[in-house]
Every structure is written in C-alpha cells, then in structure tokens.
Amino acid sequence: MLTNNPFAALTDLFSPLVMQTYIVVMMVLVAAGTLFDIWHKKSAKYFFDNWRASKNKAKKQIAGGAMISIAMQTAVVDVLASGEFCNARRRIAHLLGMYGFVIYVVTTAIMVFAYPTPATPTPNALATLWYIGALMVCLGGYWFWFFIRVDVAAEGNSPFRFVRADLFIVTMVLSTTFGLIWAWLQTAGNTTWATVFLGLYLIATTALFGSIPWSKFSHMFFKPAAALEKRLSEANGTRSNLPAPADAPEKFGSVVKHAHHY
C-alpha cells in the first residue's frame, strides 16, 4: 500500500486533465482566499504601518549584515523550527502538522501532474512520502485536538466541541484521514467504499482550500512577517506591540512570583 499512487487509479473515473484542473483550482482558491483575507482584515496595512512606525521610532539603524542575520534567524527559528511555541508538546504537534502538510501537498501535486496514470509508474519513494506526510498530519492534528488544546486540556470542554477557529485544522486532518482510508480501500479492492471515501476526501479537501477567508489557513503566510517585524523592532530599540508567547511558563511563573511581593 505504501508504494501505491492512489491518484493513478482514478483514470478509471476521470481523465488526468480533470485531476490536474482540480489541483489548479485549489491553488487559485488559496491565492484568492489569502488576498481576500488580507484585504478584509487589513493585515498587510497593519504590518506595513507598524513596520513604518517602528523604523521612525528606531533608536539605532540596522546594518545590511544585521538585517540578513535577523531574516535568517526568523526563517530558521520562527518559521522552520516554530520557535514561538515554548511548550514542547505544542511545538512537536505543530511541526508534525506543518511538515506533514507540506510533504502531503507537494507529493500530491507531483503525482497528479507527473505520474497521473498507471502507464507512468510512480517512484516508490514518492508514493511513500505521500503516506508519510498524511500520517504526520494525522498524528500532529489528532494529538493536538484531543490532548493539547487549551479548552480541552485545561478547561475541561468536550474534545468534539467545534468553533470556527477550528475550521483549518479540522478540514486538514479530515482531508488526510479520508485520503488515507480511500487509498487503503482502493488497494484492498473495495470499490464501493473506496468511492464513498473518495467523495469524502474531495469534500474535505475542497473545504480546506475553499474556506481560507473563514479559517486560519492564511496565518501560515502572516506569521513569518509578524516574527520578522518583532525581531526587527527589538533589534532597532523599539518595543514590538506583539505579545510574548502565551504558553511561556517560565515567564508566567516569574510574573506571578513577582506579583506575590505586593
């Protein structure tokens, strides 16, 4: 199963062009949804205004070399290593979901465009990466959903409670879950149930990429800009108005301890 390209078998139902068109439409939805989100929430205006204000209030200028160093720190620590998460469990769950999702999306696109039919055999490593990526998303997503979420772990709410802020992670996890089940049923030769889960897979995936204006999907594009702005404002001597991580226990503990003296 782990070396099977599930999309190649879809040629019995759709032509490769239909599958490729679907991928392009999902990419357009991501771009359009992100741009709408930026316009509607005025995120870009906020960051550029804040950046300009930070430069005007700067107590010292940042040289070109220092700017490159800060950009590299942002890319490595804040983006690639998710350094904003001080809680180890949250960071691991986030990294599993983030890297798993990237692997899952990239391998899907490669298999659909480069190896769309059984006549174009898919490299085993590529197909295996698709399964690994989907499993990573499921592992990180379900771990976060049932055991790490604040309203579940700390407030005792039901893990099945759903609000709009959960739309991104729910549709992402459902997309990979239904995709894995569909691929397994296809390999097992269960045509009827494979068709059912293919439909569920397409519904969940369309909801994932089509709900960007209402979900947190676009945050993955905003967070690097916010992290860079914060590092630059700290480097030039101005204080960023972005809050410290809410789950930094050592900082929280020191504040509480300090407050007891009054």
pLDDT for the residue numbered 235: 72
Stated as kind and residue range, the H or E segment containing 95 is helix 88-114
Residue-level length of the chain: 262
What is the DSSP secondary structure assignment for residue 144, as one 8-state letter? I
pLDDT for the residue numbered 262: 37
**Three-class secondary structure assignment of 157-203:** CCCCCCCHHHHHHHHHHHHHHHHHHHHHHHHHCCHHHHHHHHHHHHH
224 residue type, one letter: P
Among 64, 54, 51, 47, which Cα is nearest to 236's?
54
What CA–CA distance (Å, rounded) separates 168 from 146? 16
pLDDT for the residue numbered 133: 97
pLDDT for the residue numbered 41: 67
3-state secondary structure of 242: coil
pLDDT for the residue numbered 255: 40
Where the chain has pLDDT below 50, the residues are 240, 246-262
Alpha carbon 94 to chain centroid distance?
8
Among 106, 200, 90, 197, which Cα is nearest to 145's?
90
pLDDT for the residue numbered 250: 46
pLDDT for the residue numbered 47: 66
User: Taking a C-beta distance cutoff of 8 angstroms, is the pair 129, 107 a contact?
Assistant: yes
pLDDT for the residue numbered 17: 95
